[in-house]
Amino acid sequence: MADISSITSLITSFRSETREEAITPEVLGALLQKIADLLGKAALQTDVSRLDNWRSDLARIGYVLTSLTIGSDDRNNVYFTLGKANLSTGINQIANNSILIRQATTERAGVMRAQQVQDLNKCKSELSSCIASMNKVQEALVNFQKATQSLSLRISKNNIEIGNNAESIQVLQSDLKSLASQIKSLQTDIQKFATMKQATQMHIECIITDSTLVIQDAYRYIRQGLTPVIFRHSVRTSRKQEDENGVREYLPRRRGWNRFYDDRKISVNNGDEISFRLDKEGDQNRGKYFTKPDVLFGDCRAVIDPNTQRLSEVRVYFGKRSYNILGINRHFRFAIGFYKKSKDYGPFQFGELRTNLAEFKVIARADRVDGSNNYKLTFNFSM
């Protein structure tokens, strides 16, 4: 509300004039001009106050969304880019790739990864091939049944006839050859179908999240009865069983994927995070599971130069070999797969795998501490 005390004061002063000659047009005009000035000033102050209140309200709102566009994308993720404006300053800002659209899983909706699309297309292609193979198997079975019926009929006729007719024997032999050919074709189709079925595997991938190894849907595979197993790409010497004299005969060394420990070396929690069992001799935490990659390695061996008495190497064992990691980023390859146990005993067979091998790496490095012979070890997951 405008302040009218000044106007009231001017009017009171004008009314107090008693002399007639004091009330002139000039005096009256000056009074009216002062009143007009005061009214204009009061109106201006009211508008400014309203504008200030409006500006305060806008400042409390802060930012408003001005645009929403597709940002970057790759094989696994899709992002949104936001555009926003500050209502107080009027400054426009662009937040690139600020919203991540989560991936689709068996438990929730989301965007499909490129690998999932490839797996879906591969599944459709293999399903078509499987159906075609099954049709061939069915056709071969029908032919087999017809040939069997024909053979049974001919055998019955030959048993009834007195004596063996040479021509009938030739026809019978021809039928037997034809039947053998059909059986062989049927076996080929069945073997092809079995091979195709075995080759159809579930695809898995390792993902590194907050320095932790994750395999999507790994816990679901375990609930389906599959068992995780870990491999490392190393040199291994296979050996035969002991002979009657208790001597083991060693075979040539071979490099490749070798199973690492047993089924209990690896564990999966309900968040699909992978942890590994600690197997160091004498360690108080032996037998416990950890998500850190250093659990996959044993104790390191420091090598001191006899001439300089300085630390020259730090060697870590991997398979049948040891590697120097002092000041070197050494990459070691591992892989994880899921298999279905065909029996409760006996050695592991690669044919029991129901998934591919999801490969990951561990980067190992040792660095000197303060120029002394002490060293610090670092192990990190890598893809």
The whole-number pLDDT of residue 143 equals 77
**Among 38-52, 207-221, 289-303, 361-375, whose mean pLDDT is lowest?**
38-52
- Give yes or no for a contact between 190 and 140, defined as CB atoms under 8 angstroms apart: no
Q: Which of the listed ranges 16-30, 246-260, 365-379 does the model predict with the highest average pLDDT?
A: 365-379
Residue after which a domain boundary falls, among 199, 217, 234? 199
Same domain assignment for residues 230 and 368: yes
d(CA 161, CA 223): 64
The whole-number pLDDT of residue 159 equals 63
Averaged pLDDT for residues 139-150 = 76
Averaged pLDDT for residues 51-69 = 77
Same domain assignment for residues 235 and 288: yes
- Specify if 281 maps to a domain: yes
Residue percentage of the chain with pLDDT more than 90 = 12
- Specify if 343 maps to a domain: yes
The whole-number pLDDT of residue 249 equals 67
Over 60: is that where the pLDDT of 1 sits? Answer: no
Over 60: is that where the pLDDT of 197 sits? Answer: no
Same domain assignment for residues 55 and 69: no
Averaged pLDDT for residues 16-39 = 67
d(CA 290, CA 12): 92
Same domain assignment for residues 319 and 211: yes
What stretches of the chain show up as alpha helix (H) in DSSP? 5-15, 25-61, 114-160, 166-199, 218-223
Report which of 236, 242, 239 is spatially closest to residue 251, judged by C-alpha positions.
239
Same domain assignment for residues 223 and 308: yes
16's enclosing H/E stretch is none
- Specify if 106 maps to a domain: no
State pLDDT tens for residues 355-382. 888 999 999 999 988 878 889 999 999 8
Over 50: is that where the pLDDT of 199 sits? Answer: no
- Give yes or no for a contact between 358 and 253, defined as CB atoms under 8 angstroms apart: no
Same domain assignment for residues 252 and 337: yes
* Cβ-Cβ contacts under 8 Å for 17 (sequence gap 6 or more): 23, 27
- Specify if 108 maps to a domain: no
Over 80: is that where the pLDDT of 323 sits? Answer: yes
Same domain assignment for residues 265 and 366: yes
Domain of residue 293 covers 206-382
- Specify if 195 maps to a domain: yes
The whole-number pLDDT of residue 134 equals 79
d(CA 108, CA 89): 41
- Give me 123's structure tokens: 């599944």
Report which of 47, 46, 93, 26 is spatially closest to residue 66, judged by C-alpha positions.
93
Over 80: is that where the pLDDT of 269 sits? Answer: yes
Over 60: is that where the pLDDT of 2 sits? Answer: no
Question: Average pLDDT over the chain, rounded to whole?
Answer: 78
Same domain assignment for residues 133 and 245: no
Residue 168 confidence class, pLDDT cut points 50, 70, 90? low
pTM beyond 0.85: no
3-state secondary structure 292-361: CHHHHCCCCEEEECCCCCCEEEEEEEECCEEEECECCCEEEEEEEEEECCCCCCCCCCHHHECECCEEEE
Residue after which a domain boundary falls, among 181, 199, 217? 199
The whole-number pLDDT of residue 330 equals 92
- Specify if 109 maps to a domain: no
State pLDDT tens for residues 67-106. 888 887 777 778 888 888 887 777 888 888 878 887 777 6
Same domain assignment for residues 79 and 35: no
**Among 30-44, 157-171, 211-225, whose mean pLDDT is lowest?**
157-171
State pLDDT tens for residues 114-130. 777 777 887 777 777 77
Q: How many domains does the structure of the chain reveal?
A: 4
**Among 13-22, 280-289, 337-346, whose mean pLDDT is lowest?**
13-22
Same domain assignment for residues 124 and 176: yes
- Specify if 168 maps to a domain: yes
- Give me 304's structure tokens: 């001191």
Residue after which a domain boundary falls, among 170, 199, 228? 199
Same domain assignment for residues 243 and 368: yes
Averaged pLDDT for residues 145-154 = 74
Averaged pLDDT for residues 190-200 = 52
Residue 196 confidence class, pLDDT cut points 50, 70, 90? very low
Same domain assignment for residues 249 and 301: yes
- Specify if 328 maps to a domain: yes
